[in-house]
């Protein structure tokens, strides 16, 4: 980045900032987003959840300039995606739900390079960036593999590498695991975790267990931002979950019903350990 | 209805350089009134398999039998009324100006009178918790609402076997639960349901039996407990918790559904 200070404009100290943003789709009576204000600090990992039709996808499209707000203002790294979409997309990359829809080239390395070619990055630099991105998602040795021979999880990692090669500071993940099987999901989530310290991440998902490690969880319902909570408070707020058509995943739900704090126990291993610890101490005191 | 696939092979683009053998001899039975889940990784042949159930795809070799009768001898329209297939992302096929008309399209082809069609449409929409959507345009609906409208269209045919290919992908958790409850209530009324899913946790809640595919072959088939406790790679969260405890707590049994698992864990804790 030639001018690192350039992103700091009014409201630009946040990676993403939305001020009373509203949007209605043409011909729809009801706004898809109404009066949403939110900020993402640099380096934060923020989850976004809510029912279908709550406004999550609309928010994502406003952030990368696919839609323009009807009123209010969006700033991404200090820039307005409605007027500078191409500039914004260098700073903010979106990983969509279904990797099949976003892959364009026959070979892995060509696909990863696609975004850079569009930005006119010189070839030498491009080779270096592609190699780094492929390494970052654990796909070394796959450079010349044909995409159609890859599994769903591998394809989603190729899509992620394509984003990383552009080197955006902000990653928006729009249900990145919903088309993947259990193994593919774990793969992709692992690589996303590895990016935590370097990137600002907004992670939209229906799989609440993916957010136990988030800094904050935002809830969008009926186009409004109805909650902004830490995972601990979010997972133990039964009313908030019910009102927003959210259901605790299996393990935290079992944990809660057995009297454990649900946010701390998101994996089967953690729950089994807690139960063992409790039954052992129980037998000792008896 | 009992639906049986016997040694089904299917080759895409035979005789071309793109030839792929997607199914390599698959045999599986869907019993009357059961929920059979088809699981397996991406590319294992799940979608190809279920498209044989109403002969949308005709096997390269092997047989599809309906109550013991070769399905290719039945009228296609009759077969497709009795075996309803809901594709992945079925909402992409919505086309009518209102949800009601969209759902009515297929039952109207059956030659039913208008009153009967209307009754079935509303019944199907209500079963999906979507009765209030009847007059809306399908194009103004959210993803979850569209999905329900599309499934209602198949339900309105009152199929004896309902085949759902990844019906919950992208749905919010509450809509997903509603759909799983619908599957259970259809089973109560004697309908067989074939559920293709990569989400083992949801399969655990509804499946009577599970058939796992791997690279075009059945890798394992059996009751949900047999399959989930037999292969750690196929274990949903409930089974993983129980398996971790069974070593030191032999009284755990083989719980699969979350309520069974909760009961077993409570018994273990003595609460």
* One domain, residues A162 and A269: no
List the structure tokens of B24.
């390599």
Q: Is A3 part of a structural domain of the chain?
A: no
**In angstroms, what separates the C-alpha of A210 from chain B's closest C-alpha?**
13
User: Helix (H, G, I), strand (E, B), or coil: what is residue A167?
Assistant: coil
Is the pTM here over 0.80, yes or no? yes
- CATH code of residue A155: 3.40.50.300
* One domain, residues A125 and A138: yes
Contacts of B266 in chain A (CB under 8 A): 258
**In angstroms, what separates the C-alpha of B68 from chain A's closest C-alpha?**
34
The predicted-structure confidence for A42-94, as pLDDT tens digits, reads as follows 999 999 999 888 899 899 999 999 999 999 999 999 999 999 998 999 999 99
Nearest CB to A257 within list B176, B241, B262:
B262
| Long-range contacts of residues A132-139, Cβ cutoff 8 Å, at least 24 apart | A132/A164, A132/A165, A133/A161, A133/A162, A133/A164, A133/A165, A134/A108, A134/A109, A134/A161, A136/A161, A136/A164, A136/A191, A136/A194, A136/A195, A137/A161, A137/A164, A137/A191, A138/A187, A138/A191, A139/A108
Q: Is A230 part of a structural domain of the chain?
A: yes
Q: How confident is the model at residue A286 (pLDDT cuts 50, 70, 90)?
A: very low
* One domain, residues A14 and A98: yes
Q: Is A16 part of a structural domain of the chain?
A: yes
Instruction: Give the number of domains in chain A.
Output: 2
Residue with more model confidence, A151 or A281: A151
Q: How far apart are CA A2 and CA A4, in angstroms?
A: 6
Contacts of A182 in chain B (CB under 8 A): 198-200
For chain B, domain boundaries: 3-235, 236-271
Query: Which residue is closest to B235 within chain A, CA to CA?
Result: A182
* One domain, residues A69 and A157: yes
Mutation site for A-interface testing, chosen from B40, B174, B200 by largest number of A Cβ within 10 Å: B174
* Lowest pLDDT segment from A138-142, A182-186, B167-171: A182-186
Angle at which helices A123-136 and A152-165 cross, to 10°: 140
The predicted-structure confidence for A232-260, as pLDDT tens digits, reads as follows 999 989 899 999 989 888 999 999 999 99
* One domain, residues A100 and A168: yes
User: What's the pLDDT at A282?
Assistant: 54
User: What's the pLDDT at B129?
Assistant: 84
Q: How confident is the model at residue A1 (pLDDT cuts 50, 70, 90)?
A: very low
Contacts of B47 in chain A (CB under 8 A): none
Cβ atoms within 10 Å of A102's Cβ, excluding its own:
18
| Residues in CB range of A85: below 8 A, 6 or more apart | A64, A65, A66
Contacts of B172 in chain A (CB under 8 A): 50-52, 54, 206, 245-246
* Lowest pLDDT segment from A3-12, A98-107, B91-100: A3-12
Q: How far apart are CA B133 and CA B138, in angstroms?
A: 8
What percent of chain A lies above the pLDDT cut of 90?
A: 52
* One domain, residues A257 and A232: no
Structural domain of A52: 9-247
A262 in B contact zone (CB under 8 Å): no
User: What's the pLDDT at A183?
Assistant: 74
Q: Is the Cβ pair B262, A254 closer than 8 Å?
A: yes
Query: Which residue is closest to A175 within chain B, CA to CA?
Result: B170
**In angstroms, what separates the C-alpha of B237 from chain A's closest C-alpha?**
6
Cβ atoms within 10 Å of A122's Cβ, excluding its own:
8
Query: Which residue is closest to A176 within chain B, CA to CA?
Result: B170
Give the closest residue to A250 by CA, choosing from B165, B204, B244.
B204
Q: Is A2 part of a structural domain of the chain?
A: no
* One domain, residues A239 and A253: no
What are the CA-CA distances from residue B112 to residues B85, B104, B234, B238 (Å)?
A: 20, 10, 44, 45
* One domain, residues A229 and A265: no
List the structure tokens of A84.
């500078």
* B7 HSE (CA, 13 A, CB side): 2
Interface of B with A (CB under 8 A): 40-43, 140-145, 169-177, 198-201, 233, 236-238, 240-241, 244-245, 248-249, 258, 261-262, 265-266, 268-271
User: What's the pLDDT at B100?
Assistant: 94
The predicted-structure confidence for B88-118, as pLDDT tens digits, reads as follows 878 878 888 999 999 999 889 888 899 999 9
Q: Is A221 part of a structural domain of the chain?
A: yes
Q: Is A76 part of a structural domain of the chain?
A: yes
Q: Is the Cβ pair B170, A206 closer than 8 Å?
A: yes
Q: How far apart are CA A15 and CA A169, in angstroms?
A: 8
* One domain, residues A145 and A261: no
The predicted-structure confidence for B33-62, as pLDDT tens digits, reads as follows 999 999 988 778 999 999 999 999 999 999
* One domain, residues A121 and A261: no
Residue with more model confidence, A32 or A118: A32
Q: How confident is the model at residue A4 (pLDDT cuts 50, 70, 90)?
A: very low
Q: How far apart are CA B88 and CA B223, in angstroms?
A: 25
CATH superfamily, with its number, for domain B3-235: P-loop containing nucleotide triphosphate hydrolases (3.40.50.300)
Are B161 and B53 in contact, with CB atoms under 8 Å apart?
A: yes
Are B161 and B186 in contact, with CB atoms under 8 Å apart?
A: no
Range among A160-164, B41-45, B81-85 with highest mean pLDDT value: B81-85
* One domain, residues A120 and A95: yes
* One domain, residues A262 and A284: yes
Q: How confident is the model at residue B5 (pLDDT cuts 50, 70, 90)?
A: very high
């Amino acid at each position: 980045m030639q001018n690192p200070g350039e992103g700091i404009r009014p409201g630009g100290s946040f990676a993403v900032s939305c001020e009373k943003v509203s949007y209605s789709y043409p011909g729809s009576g009801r706004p898809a987003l109404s009066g949403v204000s939110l900020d993402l600090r640099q380096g934060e990992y923020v989850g976004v959840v809510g029912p279908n039709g709550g406004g999550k996808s609309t928010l994502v499209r406003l952030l990368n300039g696919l839609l323009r707000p009807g009123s209010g203002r969006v700033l991404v790294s200090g820039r307005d995606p409605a007027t500078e979409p191409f500039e914004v997309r260098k700073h903010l990359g979106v990983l969509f739900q279904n990797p099949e829809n976003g892959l364009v080239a026959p070979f892995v390395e060509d696909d990863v390079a696609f975004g850079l070619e569009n930005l006119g990055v010189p070839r030498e630099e491009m080779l270096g960036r592609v190699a780094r991105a492929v390494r970052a998602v654990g796909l070394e040795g796959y450079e010349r593999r044909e995409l159609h021979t890859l599994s769903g999880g591998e394809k989603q990692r190729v899509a992620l590498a394509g984003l990383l090669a552009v080197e955006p500071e902000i990653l928006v993940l729009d249900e990145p695991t919903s088309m993947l099987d259990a193994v593919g999901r774990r793969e992709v989530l692992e690589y996303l975790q590895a990016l935590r310290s370097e990137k600002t991440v907004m992670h939209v998902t229906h799989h609440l267990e993916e957010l136990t490690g988030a800094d904050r969880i935002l809830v969008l319902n009926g186009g409004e931002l109805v909650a902004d909570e830490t995972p601990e408070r979010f997972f133990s707020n039964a009313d908030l979950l019910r009102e927003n058509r959210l259901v605790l995943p299996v393990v935290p739900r079992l944990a809660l019903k057995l009297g454990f704090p649900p946010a701390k126990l998101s994996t089967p291993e953690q729950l089994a350990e807690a139960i063992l610890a409790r039954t052992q101490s129980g037998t000792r005191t008896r | 209805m009992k639906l049986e696939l016997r040694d089904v092979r299917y080759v895409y683009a035979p005789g071309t350089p793109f030839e792929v053998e997607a199914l390599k001899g698959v045999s599986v039975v869907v019993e009357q009134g059961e929920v059979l889940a088809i699981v397996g990784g991406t590319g294992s042949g799940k979608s190809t398999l279920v498209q044989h159930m109403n002969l949308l795809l005709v096997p390269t070799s092997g047989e599809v039998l309906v109550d013991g009768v070769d399905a290719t001898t039945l009228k296609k329209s009759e077969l497709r009324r009795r075996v309803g297939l809901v594709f992945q992302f079925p909402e992409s096929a919505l086309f009518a100006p209102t949800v009601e008309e969209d759902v009515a399209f297929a039952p109207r082809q059956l030659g039913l009178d208008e009153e009967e069609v209307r009754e079935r449409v509303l019944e199907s929409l209500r079963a999906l918790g979507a009765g209030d959507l009847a007059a809306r345009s399908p194009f103004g609906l959210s993803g979850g609402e569209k999905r329900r409208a599309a499934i209602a269209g198949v339900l309105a045919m009152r199929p004896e076997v309902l085949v759902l290919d990844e019906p919950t992908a992208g749905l919010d958790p509450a809509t997903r639960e509603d759909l799983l409850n619908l599957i259970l209530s259809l089973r109560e009324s004697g309908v067989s349901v074939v559920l293709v899913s990569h989400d083992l946790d949801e399969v655990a809640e509804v499946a009577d039996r599970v058939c796992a595919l791997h690279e075009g072959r059945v890798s394992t088939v059996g009751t949900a407990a047999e399959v989930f406790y037999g292969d750690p790679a196929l274990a949903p969260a409930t089974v993983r918790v129980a398996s971790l405890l069974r070593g030191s707590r032999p009284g755990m049994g083989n719980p699969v559904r979350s309520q069974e698992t909760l009961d077993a864990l409570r018994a273990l804790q003595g609460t």
